[in-house]
Amino acid sequence: MNMAILNSNKIITLYHGSTHLFNEIDVSKGKPFKDFGKGFYTTQNKDHAINLALRNKRIEEVRLMQKEQKRNINVNAYLYTYELDKRKTIGLSIKEFVKADKKWILFVLANYKSIDKTHVYDIVVGPTADDDTRLSLRAYFSGAYGEIESNKAINVLIDNIKPDNLPKQAYFGTSKGTSLLIQKGDAMLISTKESIQFAIDTLTTEVVQKYSLDNNITGTEALRFFMKTDTFKLLINPESYLYLESLEYVLDMLDAEMHGDTKRWLEA
């Protein structure tokens, strides 16, 4: 998205993925410790919005399964579509990050430490910190890249997040900003098929990342190993419902298979 051309007579379509149904946008209900602070996030990339909704769906299902000690809990995911007339944004306080550079990462790091937000912008546009970026941010905050807030640590962090591959997002931090978003139609329930495939892909990624870290091998090597296992074959079969289980559950199955513990693997 390019908010730099604010004077153009152009209406843009934005998408928002959520696990909640709502009629009005309330920026105060946004989650804290996010890229640009607590607020309302949108994107021009429809697939990205769907994936975010499905990611939150998966997180919520795992949380509820652990809390209620139940299996196969289902949480719905929805896609909202909005239109924004950029002519009406004139006069708003807008910040745009054209790329994921040092200024962007310092802004993100500051908001990651804030329960609300660290700025007064109505709208912020810039790259999205994806799952790989979040892993790098955890490494940064753990001191793995050097002293936190040092130039060395920040430069290593930027090198590790592959900035050119990050999708853009538009953040709305005030009611003045969100009042310009016109919802088009009702929220769309994301299909079960899409939900299942996303859950399978997410669990596969999580298993590969954990195995890669635990065994000090590359992600590619870990993926090649995992794809040869019976646990993986079971995971990608929707009829097994293994995609509904937690990361720890799948890792326990993989561990049982690796140690030849057929009984434990079958019981799992």
126 bridge partner residues: 169
pLDDT of residue 16: 97
Relative to beta strand 123-127, strand 94-96 is parallel
- 3-state per-residue secondary structure call for the chain: CCCCCCCCCCEEEEEEEECCCCCCCCHHHCCCCCCCCCCEEEECCHHHHHHHHHHHHHHHHHHHHHHHCCCCCCCCCEEEEEEEEHHHHCCCCEEECCCCCHHHHHHHHHHHCCCCCCCCCCEEEEECCCHHHHHHHHHHHCCCCCCCCCHHHHHHHHHHCCHHHCCEEEEECCHHHHCCEEECCCCEECCHHHHHHHHHHHHHHHHHHHHHHHHCCCHHHHHHHHHCCHHHHHHCCHHHCHHHCCHHHHHHHHHHHHCCCHHHHHHC
Contacts with 220 (C-beta within 8 Å, 6 or more apart), sequence order: none
Instruction: Tell me the two tokens of residue 126.
Output: 């810039």
List, for residues 82-117, the tens digit of each pLDDT value: 999 988 998 999 999 988 888 999 999 999 888 999
Between residues 189 and 7, the one the model is more confident about: 189
6 pLDDT band (50/70/90 cuts)?
very low
**Residue 224 pLDDT exceeds 90:** yes
pTM: 0.73
Q: Decide if 219 contacts 132 (C-beta within 8 A).
A: no
pLDDT tens digit sequence for 53-80: 988 888 888 888 888 877 678 899 999 9
Q: What is the pLDDT of residue 263?
A: 66
Position 39 scores a pLDDT of 97
pLDDT given at position 5: 41
Higher pLDDT pick, 124 / 68:
124
Q: What is the pLDDT of the chain when averaged over all its residues? A: 87
Please, what are the domains in the chain?
11-129+166-189 (3.90.228), 192-267 (no CATH)
Say if CB 190 and CB 54 are below 8 A apart: yes
Distance CA 109, CA 100 (A): 12
Among the residue ranges 20-29, 99-108, 200-209, 259-268, the one predicted with the least confidence is: 259-268
| % of the chain with per-residue pLDDT over 70 | 92
pLDDT at residue 204 tops 70 = yes
Find the range with the poorest average confidence among 69-78, 131-140, 222-231, 253-262: 131-140
Quick count: other Cβ atoms within 10 Å of Cβ 243? 22
Whether 45 has a pLDDT exceeding 80, the answer reads yes
Q: How far apart are the first and last CA of the chain?
A: 46
Identify the band that residue 130 occupies on the pLDDT scale cut at 50, 70 and 90. confident
Q: What angle do CA 268, 62, 226 make, to 5 degrees?
A: 50
Supply 45's token pair: 């990339």
